[in-house]
Structure 1
Amino acid sequence: MSLRTIGCVELNSVAVGMHVADEMLKAAQVELVMARPTCPGRYIVVVTGDTGSIKSSVEVGCEIGADMVVDHFTIASVHMDVIPALNGTSLVPKIDALGVIETCTAASCILAADAAAKAGDVALIEIRMAAGLAGKAFVTMTGDVGSVNASVEAGVAGVGESGPVLSHVVIPSPSEGIKAQLI
């Protein structure tokens, strides 16, 4: 699957989420990247395709989801590290400085991750969505301290109105114990 533009709709209902996913796929020429439940009883749908199709698909998802929509977005030219980090398949051979951004929704965390990855020479480690996090999400990244600082700042700003960002931190030299927990 060649990812170009991605779109996302996050909902407060699993049943409505499944319906939204189905209708988003029927509404435009898009491919499903992810459709699954998250905590606490939310559902996230991520699709890819050309920008016009994604915008149409997300619009339909928001209309059908109505008051169950928690968050949504469209990202043109998504950074290549985002989907592997989202799926937990990133290959990060070594961890230097560690950056973490924690958000209120999974969708806003994906926005933060994309902005962070585009802003500096960092590698996304993981985008952890809502499993055991009461609906929150966080992204971890690594690189040299300057790059991680710049990327975390850009990621926080990249959330925009989807926020809020609950917290963020840069750890210049994480302990070996923390590094072992991340990879």
Structure 2
Amino acid sequence: MKEKSIGLLELSSVATGFRAADTMLKGGDVRLLLSRSICSGKYMVLIGGDPASVEAAIAAGAEAANGFLIDRTVIANIQPEVLEAIGRAQVPQPNGALGVLESFSVTALIRAADTVAKAANVTLLELRLAMALGGKAYCTLAGDVASVDAAVKAGALVLAEAGVLVDAVVLPRPHPDVYREVV
């Protein structure tokens, strides 16, 4: 992943999601990373590029949303493992504690995952975004107990401040079968 920054729009209309994606891509030097409908009839558009281009594209997409904008974010200097963990089909070998952050918002969860990756020496295992989750999102992470605890607390704070925290859990020594269920 060569993008230094990412931007995400979360919309309450699928049709408007297509319009916003088109507007963002035509308006700047950005790359479409993910564009799809998500549960509860929402739509998400994830773009990447240099910080100024991403900011401009997200602003244009938000304007094109015509009242259907749920949330938006731009994250400069995104941790590469955040994007690698989105929809990961094969989880890296788990070790140590397991942390789980759950959010009512896809956008806020991506912000929290970036905070998690920057807060402590942990491995992001997976980011699950709204599919078969009723529009919610969650991420899983692993590492030593102290690091997972610190990272989960940092991510939970981001979600709580946004008013979208569902739950945050740290399992210090999860049963091996629990790790098998991460994917």
Q: Is the partner of 1:182 in helix, strand or coil?
A: coil
| C-alpha distance in 1 between matches for 2:33 and 2:83 | 8
Distance 1:145 1:127, change over 3 A: same
List structure 1 runs of 4+ shifted beyond 4 angstroms: none
Indicate whether 1:62 and 2:62 are aligned. yes
> What RMSD, in angstroms, separates the aligned Cα atoms of the two structures?
1.4
Distance 1:58 1:90, change over 3 A: farther
Preserved contact between residue 108 and residue 163 of structure 1 (Cα < 8 Å) = no
| C-alpha distance in 2 between matches for 1:3 and 1:123 | 20
> Which residue of the partner structure matches residue 145 of structure 1?
145
| C-alpha distance in 1 between matches for 2:22 and 2:161 | 27
| C-alpha distance in 1 between matches for 2:172 and 2:182 | 15
- Give me the identity figure in percent: 37
Q: Once the 2 structures are TM-superposed, how far is the Cα of residue 95 of structure 1 from its aligned partner? A: 3.1
Q: Once the 2 structures are TM-superposed, how far is the Cα of residue 30 of structure 1 from its aligned partner? A: 0.4
Residue identity in the other structure for 1:122: V
TM-score scaled by length of structure 2:
0.95
- Structure 1's unaligned 5+ residue stretches are none
Q: Once the 2 structures are TM-superposed, how far is the Cα of residue 133 of structure 1 from its aligned partner? A: 1.3
Distance 1:90 1:161, change over 3 A: farther
Superposition map of 1:106-121 within 5 A: 106-121=106-121
- Structure 2's unaligned 5+ residue stretches are none
What per-residue deviation string (whole Å, max 9, x for no partner) do you get for residues 122-142 of structure 1? 000111111121111111100
> Which residue of the partner structure matches residue 33 of structure 1?
33
How many residue pairs get matched? Answer: 183
Q: Once the 2 structures are TM-superposed, how far is the Cα of residue 159 of structure 1 from its aligned partner? A: 3.7
| C-alpha distance in 2 between matches for 1:182 and 1:112 | 18
